[in-house]
Chains A and B, each alone.
Chain A
Amino acid sequence: MSAPSLVEQLKTGLDAPICLTWELTYACNLQCVHCLSSSGRRDPRELTTAEAKQVLDELRRLQVFYINIGGGEPMVRNDFFELVDYAVNPPNGGTGIGVKFSTNGTFIDASKARRLAAMDYLDIQISLDGADAITNDAVRGAGSYVAARRAMDHLAAAGFGPFKISVVVTRHNVDQLDALKALADSYGAQLRVTRLRPSGRGADSWHDLHPTNAQQRQIYQWLLAHGDNVLTGDSFFHLNALGEPLPGLNMCGAGRVVCLIDPIGDVYACPFVIHDQFRAGSVRDRGGFTSVWRDSELFRELRQPQSAGACAKCGSYDACQGGCMAAKFFTGLPLDGPDPECVGGVADDLLGAVPVALVPRPSLDHSRRTLSLSSR
């Protein structure tokens, strides 16, 4: 009898996450229409500096090698550099926790770029959702393209090295993947492309922005051709039903190898499911993050074998694993049914049949209501 495959073993969970996303704040200067966390305004309950450091101590004890910091816009926090420094250079010595943080770049000026370039174990991901201002700003807001490019220029001038340019693939930028790759290459940067999810404010924009079925095939072909040089966060495994598997882990890691800590310390199964149903606990609970990760009922359940449900009879299930849990949830599809972007088209009729009133809404909304979204 052969040993179970790595993916099968990972599905039963690990003692600590491999990939942990920590959103430091819900505050953001932008108001992107697809924001996964519906960010905008700071939440008064956000973790204090001392609490955040305690979480970092705990993650170090768990041997979490690196964390992904995001938001909101993490650089909005006054203690941003203090926390990053605490992660990568622990005051009492010992191993640092590598940090990769996602930013819209607005707050990276020449001096901050130099400060960032001087830090070890630090990686930066600048979000950009189009190869030109028109495409990008339609999603991320006026001026955001120029701000992101300015940050890239500052990082390049400071000799930061290979930062990352992170693109959410939409209906409107699919045709720009080559141009975005060329842009990354021009900076000596690495391109990262990820899947659009109907989470947060994305619940409202997904139907207009998500790639068409024909475009899904285009993305698949492009990733097959460029996959080794482009990062994807392993987010396109639903496309594996098209044939040869894409590089990366072919599975949903929610609660098994990944999770999210939100700005108020709540722990969710993944960054795309900020909803009560996927909230496992809080780092403020007795036992902290460790007991949430190891013992929460939700995570224990996610580590049990999952039913293939309606997909069991489809020959592609082993290849696509039924796709993304968050994408199904926020489009009102059953979790044991097809992904809304199932390349076999199985979800198309189901999507049309879901009564709007039954589609779950994100549990939290920190959008700045003073901004009108109707202008676009």
Chain B
Amino acid sequence: MSLLDTALELDPQVALRPEPFGALAYHYGTRRLVFMKHHDVVEVARHLAEHPSLSAALQACGIAESRWPSFAKAFDTLSRSEIVRERPVAG
């Protein structure tokens, strides 16, 4: 399954701080600081948990479909650094 079809959420141990360049993401558990350098990635990250998949979140945030592959890449990186994670889907 591609990341675009996956339900994601911000890791509960992560805090986002808005910055002129985008946002700072800090993971209190791993104590890692991540620079999020695109405002629209930050916007999507904030709304991930409200949508059944990453692509639904992208659509809701008005991101053109041609840009989805680059967002999938960005969120793959964020998931590797544990800023976002797969959301357990209620059964």
CA distance A128 to B64 in the complex (A): 54
Interface size of B by Cβ–Cβ distance < 8 Å?
13
Q: Specify which chain B residues have a CB less than 8 angstroms from the CB of A65 in the assembled complex.
A: 15, 17, 24, 26, 28, 33
B50 within 8 A of A: no
- Cβ-closest chain A residue relative to B25: A65
Interface residue ranges of A1-40 to B (CB < 8 Å): 3, 6, 9-10, 12, 14-16, 18
* Pairwise interchain contact A63-B17, C-beta atoms closer than 8 A: yes
Other A-B pairs, 9, CB within 8 Å; known A9-B20, A63-B15, A121-B28: A6-B21, A12-B20, A14-B20, A15-B20, A65-B15, A65-B24, A66-B31, A95-B15, A95-B28
CA distance A16 to B31 in the complex (A): 18
A98 within 8 A of B: yes
Q: Please give the distance in Å from A320's CB to the nearest CB on chain B.
A: 22
Q: Please give the distance in Å from B30's CB to the nearest CB on chain A.
A: 11
* Pairwise interchain contact A15-B19, C-beta atoms closer than 8 A: yes
Please give the residue numbers on chain A whose beta carbons come within 8 Å of chain B beta carbons, in ascending order: 3, 6, 9-10, 12, 14-16, 18, 63, 65-66, 95-96, 98, 121, 123
Q: Specify which chain B residues have a CB less than 8 angstroms from the CB of A95 in the assembled complex.
A: 15, 28
CA distance A123 to B32 in the complex (A): 13
* Pairwise interchain contact B21-A9, C-beta atoms closer than 8 A: yes
A-B contacts, 11 listed (Cβ < 8 Å): A6-B35, A9-B20, A9-B21, A10-B21, A14-B19, A15-B18, A15-B19, A65-B15, A65-B17, A65-B33, A95-B28
Q: Please give the distance in Å from B29's CB to the nearest CB on chain A.
A: 9
Q: Specify which chain A residues have a CB less than 8 angstroms from the CB of B33 in the assembled complex.
A: 18, 65
Q: Specify which chain B residues have a CB less than 8 angstroms from the CB of A16 in the assembled complex.
A: 17
CA distance A10 to B24 in the complex (A): 12
* Pairwise interchain contact A66-B26, C-beta atoms closer than 8 A: yes
B73 within 8 A of A: no
* Pairwise interchain contact B15-A123, C-beta atoms closer than 8 A: no
Q: Specify which chain A residues have a CB less than 8 angstroms from the CB of B35 in the assembled complex.
A: 6
Q: Which 10 A-B pairs have the closest CB atoms?
A: A65-B26, A9-B21, A63-B17, A14-B19, A121-B28, A6-B35, A6-B37, A95-B15, A98-B28, A98-B31
CA distance A121 to B18 in the complex (A): 22
Q: Please give the distance in Å from B22's CB to the nearest CB on chain A.
A: 9
- Identify the interface centre among B21, B24, B35: most chain A CB within 10 Å of its CB: B21
Q: Please give the distance in Å from B25's CB to the nearest CB on chain A.
A: 9
- Cβ-closest chain A residue relative to B35: A6
Q: Specify which chain B residues have a CB less than 8 angstroms from the CB of A18 in the assembled complex.
A: 24, 33
CA distance A123 to B29 in the complex (A): 11
- Cβ-closest chain B residue relative to A10: B21
Q: Please give the distance in Å from A329's CB to the nearest CB on chain B.
A: 28
- Cβ-closest chain B residue relative to A14: B19
Q: Specify which chain A residues have a CB less than 8 angstroms from the CB of B19 in the assembled complex.
A: 14-15
Q: Please give the distance in Å from A162's CB to the nearest CB on chain B.
A: 10
Q: Specify which chain B residues have a CB less than 8 angstroms from the CB of A10 in the assembled complex.
A: 21
CA distance A98 to B33 in the complex (A): 12
Q: Specify which chain A residues have a CB less than 8 angstroms from the CB of B26 in the assembled complex.
A: 65-66, 98
* Pairwise interchain contact B28-A123, C-beta atoms closer than 8 A: no
* Pairwise interchain contact B28-A96, C-beta atoms closer than 8 A: yes
CA distance A6 to B20 in the complex (A): 10
CA distance A365 to B31 in the complex (A): 34
Q: Specify which chain A residues have a CB less than 8 angstroms from the CB of B21 in the assembled complex.
A: 6, 9-10
CA distance A66 to B33 in the complex (A): 10
Q: Please give the distance in Å from B67's CB to the nearest CB on chain A.
A: 15
